[in-house]
């Protein structure tokens, strides 16, 4: 792919992902409202899986092409980018702190993301050993912990409110709307899946000329491009006042991205994938943990007013993002 073609492909596929992401947020909000599952559950599980489709497609392709550092860097970078999106979104809600208005159960999702990322970082640090049928102990552990965490989140979801007979009749009338929301959700997720492959491949073509490590390219360029659906979905949800949907989507996507390491390890087949990547990616993992912890502090702080100089706040998260990228760049391959 030539450079001009790559630029055009990037712009067209990026626009497709953006439009589909906006529709995805609306359908997700409808599903959350009509099913009574709530924005947290739908955002952390349903929306998170859909908006992580670009990472899955891109990273499977990267592993099959023999560039695992590109794939793992993309996943760690996506976690950092997701927290960056949350920090910017919180700053842009001028009249109130967005993160102070979400349910406390969001902390469960964030804590799960920290736990999964730490396990992945340990998998890189320890290296080989402990493999079962060519799959590393770290990715197996991540798969088990993710399933257990999603079950815990499901058990802690809000109970559906009691409904009168008139409300039940009205809900039946809205069944057609819910059905269309599920169909629309599936169609827009498919658009993202198709467009994201072109988006990521064109970004990789443009990045080859920079002459930096694969891990750094994955952490920065691929992570930013594959996080476009999360950014668009969350922006639309924030604009609609669906804060739990937006925060649940971004924290849930970070958890889901770590779970993606398991199928990547299965596809790689030559031993634990985390033992083959650039050691400098541990820095990306640790900064993903740091940024998630900063976001959790803001979620747990229920003060409506910003206390500049006292609370870490979104500015600290943004500064941590820049520092993490710089240190990975300095570390090299």
pLDDT at 25: 63
pLDDT at 142: 94
Please give the Cα distance from 28 to 42 (Å, whole number): 7
Strand, coil or helix: what is 10?
Answer: helix
For residue 289, what are its two tokens? 């943990």
pLDDT at 227: 78
Give 56's contacts (C-beta < 8 A, 6+ positions apart).
Answer: 260, 263
Please give the Cα distance from 130 to 280 (Å, whole number): 22
For residue 59, what are its two tokens? 């990273």
pLDDT at 130: 65
Q: What's the first-to-final CA gap in the chain, in angstroms?
A: 25
What radius of gyration do the chain's Cα atoms show?
A: 20
Q: Where are the strands (E) in 139-275, listed by range?
A: none
Domain spans of the chain?
3-331
pLDDT at 143: 92
Please give the Cα distance from 333 to 323 (Å, whole number): 17
The closest of 289, 314, 288 to 301, measured between CA atoms, is: 314
CATH class of 3-331: mainly alpha
Please give the Cα distance from 181 to 203 (Å, whole number): 32
DSSP conformation class of 132:
B
For residue 307, what are its two tokens? 């206390």
pLDDT at 211: 66
From first to last of the 333 residues of the chain, give the pLDDT tens digit. 666 777 788 778 777 876 776 676 667 666 666 665 555 555 556 667 776 777 777 788 778 878 888 889 989 999 999 999 988 888 887 666 787 778 787 888 899 999 999 999 999 998 766 667 678 889 999 999 999 988 887 676 554 444 444 444 454 455 556 778 778 878 887 887 787 677 667 766 776 666 667 778 778 877 887 777 778 777 877 877 778 778 888 888 888 889 999 999 888 777 788 988 889 899 999 999 999 999 998 888 877 666 665 566 788 899 999 999 999 888 866
């Amino acid at each position: 792919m030539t450079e001009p073609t790559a630029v055009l492909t990037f712009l067209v596929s990026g626009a497709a992902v953006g439009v589909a992401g906006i529709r995805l947020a609306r359908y997700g909000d409808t599903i959350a409202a009509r099913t009574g599952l709530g924005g947290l559950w739908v955002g952390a599980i349903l929306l998170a899986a859909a908006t992580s489709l670009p990472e899955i497609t891109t990273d499977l392709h990267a592993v099959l092409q023999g560039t695992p550092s590109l794939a793992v860097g993309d996943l760690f970078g996506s976690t950092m980018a997701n927290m960056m999106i949350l920090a910017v979104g919180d700053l842009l809600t001028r009249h109130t702190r967005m993160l102070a208005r979400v349910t406390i159960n969001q902390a469960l999702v964030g804590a799960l993301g920290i736990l999964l990322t730490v396990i992945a970082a340990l998998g890189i640090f320890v290296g080989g050993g402990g493999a079962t049928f060519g799959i590393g102990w770290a990715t197996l552990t991540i798969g088990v912990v993710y399933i257990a965490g999603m079950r815990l989140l499901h058990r802690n979801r809000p109970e559906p409110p009691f409904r009168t007979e008139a409300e039940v009749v009205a809900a039946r009338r809205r069944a057609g709307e819910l059905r269309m929301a599920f169909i629309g959700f599936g169609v827009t997720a498919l658009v993202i899946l198709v467009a994201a492959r072109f988006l990521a491949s064109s970004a990789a073509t443009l990045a080859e000329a920079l002459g930096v490590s694969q891990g750094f390219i994955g952490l920065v360029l691929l992570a930013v491009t594959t996080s476009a659906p999360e950014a668009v979905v969350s922006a639309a949800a924030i604009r609609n006042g669906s804060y739990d949907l937006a925060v649940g989507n971004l924290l849930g996507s970070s958890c889901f991205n770590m779970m993606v390491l398991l199928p990547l390890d299965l596809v790689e087949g030559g031993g634990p994938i985390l033992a083959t990547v650039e050691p400098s990616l541990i820095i990306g993992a640790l900064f993903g943990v740091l940024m998630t912890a900063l976001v959790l502090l803001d979620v747990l702080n229920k003060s409506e007013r910003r206390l500049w100089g006292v609370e870490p706040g979104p500015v600290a998260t943004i500064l941590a993002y820049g520092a993490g990228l710089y240190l990975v760049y300095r570390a090299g391959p």
